[in-house]
Amino acid sequence: MPQPGGPGGRFSRGFLTEEEKAKAPEVTGELLKRVFSYLKPYSGHLVLVIVCIAASSFFTLLPSILTGRIIDEGIMKRDIRALVLYIVLSLTVTLGANLIGVAESYINSWIAQHITFDMRNQMYAHLQKMSQRFFTSNNQGDIITRMTSDIDGVQQVITGTFTSILSNSITLIIAMAAMFQKNWILALVGIVIVPLFTIPTRHAGKTRWKYANESQACNDEINGILNETLSVSGQLLVKLFGKEKYEYERYEKANEKMIGLNIREGMAGRWFRVVLSTFTSIGPMLIYLVGGILIIRSHTSILIAHRLSTILAADEILVVKDGTIIERGQQKELVEKGGMYAELYETQFSKALLGETDGVSELEQYLWGAVPADEPD
């Protein structure tokens, strides 16, 4: 019986054999072309996946923007119609994003399954052409793992890694565009935190890759033990030489190591999520800090006035009636709008134009020409 790490085994050599490491292909244009050749038959479906991801990312961000409209135009203005409208829009957009996400997941899974289907068929056909020496000189567990676990890993890359990278990239671009449109200073602060995510991600990736390699090697050994001892010929040899206890201990040892590796791999991911969550919390805190400093140092003044002459140069004018904001904007905009502010404007300043100075300040009279300016000395 072949021993762990002996000829034909891979237990002590890691995920790749020494021969495989020596013959590992370099990442060249030809290799990438070969890899993407598996995607070529499904290029139409792949384009549809990208469109779905872009649409889902866009619709996922819209509720945040609509929430601002709900507060500013619905609650603050006490406008029931606007409040209901933006709430319904937000719910509709959220539902649409979820439905698009379901469609994207289905198409993505369909592509991954068909690619693995093609790869399994090609690999099986290739193995059928190999010589008898190939099967006698290689561990059967390795061959089975290549046909099962390794190809399943390709499927996970397509359905998980590829989709996540694409979705996160598109979401980041759309979010940055929306943030710069609102406030470029806070947008730059938000960008500063992005590179910090690469630190825990890179470390966790290396750690999980190490454990994944060891787990794969251990899985190869377990497959080899099962194939060698549970086949008809294997069982005959085990019973003939009375090796039942030895083979049980051998399997138990490999199985115990697999459990330990799986636990360590899972905990490595857990600590990664803890660090990632910490960095995620830093971003909003920085934005709150910078935004608060900008507001505190902006020297914002709030004036409550009945005489419009005191607020003519205000950056924004709010017209309040019965405790409700009914109009907001700058002087020129509100006058052209022809609402309540325009009526007050005409009422107050028409007195100065007609020479009715009762109740009209000298400043207002001067602004409208009722009082001549002092002659310079």
Tens of pLDDT along 61-73? Answer: 888 888 888 888 8
Q: Are residues 162 and 293 in the same domain?
A: no
Q: What is the pLDDT of residue 298?
A: 67
Kindly tell me if the per-residue pLDDT of 372 is higher than 50: no
Q: Are residues 160 and 264 in the same domain?
A: no
Q: Write out pLDDT tens, residues 89-123.
A: 999 999 998 999 899 888 888 888 888 888 888 88
Q: What is the pLDDT of residue 10?
A: 37
The answer to whether 112 and 45 are in contact (CB under 8 A) is: no
Phi first, then psi, for residue 321 (nearest 5°) are -135, 125
- Average pLDDT (206-218) is 77
Q: Are residues 137 and 272 in the same domain?
A: no
- Average pLDDT (350-377) is 47
Q: Are residues 203 and 287 in the same domain?
A: yes
Q: Are residues 154 and 99 in the same domain?
A: yes
Q: What is the pLDDT of residue 4?
A: 39
Q: Is 315 within a domain?
A: yes
Q: Is 17 within a domain?
A: no
Q: Is 8 within a domain?
A: no
Residues in CB range of 281: below 8 A, 6 or more apart? none
Q: Is 87 within a domain?
A: yes
Q: What is the pLDDT of residue 257?
A: 87
Kindly tell me if the per-residue pLDDT of 365 is higher than 70: no
Whichever domain contains 127, its CATH number is 1.20.1560.10
Kindly tell me if the per-residue pLDDT of 6 is higher than 50: no
More confident residue, 347 or 4: 347
Q: What is the pLDDT of residue 217?
A: 79
Residue from 345, 339, 377 nearest 364 by CA: 345
Q: Is 374 within a domain?
A: no
Q: Are residues 275 and 324 in the same domain?
A: no
Q: Is 22 within a domain?
A: no
Q: Are residues 291 and 320 in the same domain?
A: no
Write out the residue range of the structural domain in which residue 264 sits: 194-299
Q: Write out pLDDT tens, residues 125-171.
A: 888 888 888 888 877 767 777 777 777 777 777 777 777 888 888 88
User: pTM of the entire structure?
Assistant: 0.53
Q: Are residues 45 and 101 in the same domain?
A: yes
Residue from 276, 273, 261, 277 nearest 209 by CA: 261
- Domain count within the chain: 3
The answer to whether 340 and 326 are in contact (CB under 8 A) is: yes
The answer to whether 16 and 24 are in contact (CB under 8 A) is: yes
Residues in CB range of 282: below 8 A, 6 or more apart? 193, 196
Q: What is the pLDDT of residue 88?
A: 92
Give me the DSSP letters along 169-210.
HHHHHHHHHHHHHH-HHHHHHHHHTGGGGHHHHHHHHHHHHH
Q: Are residues 203 and 80 in the same domain?
A: no
∠ Cα 281 284 287 (to 5°): 145
Q: Are residues 362 and 317 in the same domain?
A: yes
Q: Is 97 within a domain?
A: yes
